[in-house]
Amino acid sequence: MNILVTNDDGIHAAGIRALAEAMKEIGTVTVVAPDRERSAVGHSLTLHSPLRVFELRKGWYAIDGTPTDCVNMGIHSLLPVAPDLVVSGINHGANLGDDVTYSGTVAAAMEANLMGIPAIAFSLATFQPSNNFTDAAQVAVQVARQVIAHSLPDDTFLNVNIPDFPLDRIKPPLITRQGKRSFIGTIVDKTDPRGRKYFWVGSEEPQHHDEQGTDFHAINRRHVSITPLHLDLTNHKTLPILAEWTF
């Protein structure tokens, strides 16, 4: 089993170290990750500048690109054979509800899914400093073993959020749907030392609607949340409604 490990927090983050170490239980691990933090870059691809690869140590490649670049480079250039599984994370911070569309962690799994490779994004649900990445990595191994045993349905990858608690206080995984974020004012404007205005986006932790069956509801109750995602953003319910428009 060949496993490609990536993230969006950068190759030096605690989460990717814990994940890569734990995945050794399952197979041969190659790490291909951004050389610095690239959180919230979404599914962006570097098209207008070259990419450089730095082999930090055997099987650990840092790239000056996005998580999507890393998955591309890993699969098409750095790994001798296509990986059997791509895992992304463990992100420092939840990726719940609508936030998945911003997430570089989730986009990396999405990119692997586009290439037909089973993929899982993992996030630790806290924005505070945490000592629980190693425990969360054990959860990641359990989920990865299920994916290997059952394989994933076509056109499906997993978004897994793990509560920020020691292993013995984490409740079993629930299969969830993507919840809804509640939007609050998140732009802060201040003045820099030279008297010019600057703006800072996303200053508060995102809040979500606490609806039963959602990723947020599960995490809020200390369950691991596993949401199957796919790339088709079509709002299928509305097709008959829009079909009535006359042009």
Which residues here bind Mn ion, judged by CB under 5 A? 8-9, 39, 91
User: Residue of minimal CB distance from Mn ion?
Assistant: 39
Residue 5 CB, nearest distance to Mn ion (Å)? 14
Residue 11 CB, nearest distance to Mn ion (Å)? 12
Residue 164 CB, nearest distance to Mn ion (Å)? 14
Strand partners for 54: 62
Nearer of residues 34 and 173 to Mn ion, judged by Cβ: 34
Nearer of residues 9 and 164 to Mn ion, judged by Cβ: 9
Residue 95 CB, nearest distance to Mn ion (Å)? 8
Nearer of residues 14 and 148 to Mn ion, judged by Cβ: 14
Instruction: Using alpha carbons, select from 156, 161, 92 the residue that is nearest to residue 121.
Output: 161
3-state secondary structure of 229: strand
Nearer of residues 8 and 111 to Mn ion, judged by Cβ: 8
Separation in Å, CA 121 to CA 90, 91, 201, 232: 8, 8, 24, 18
Taking each continuous run of H as one helix and of E as one strand, the counts in the chain are: 6, 13
For residues 138 and 145, the answer to whether their CB atoms sit within 8 Å is no
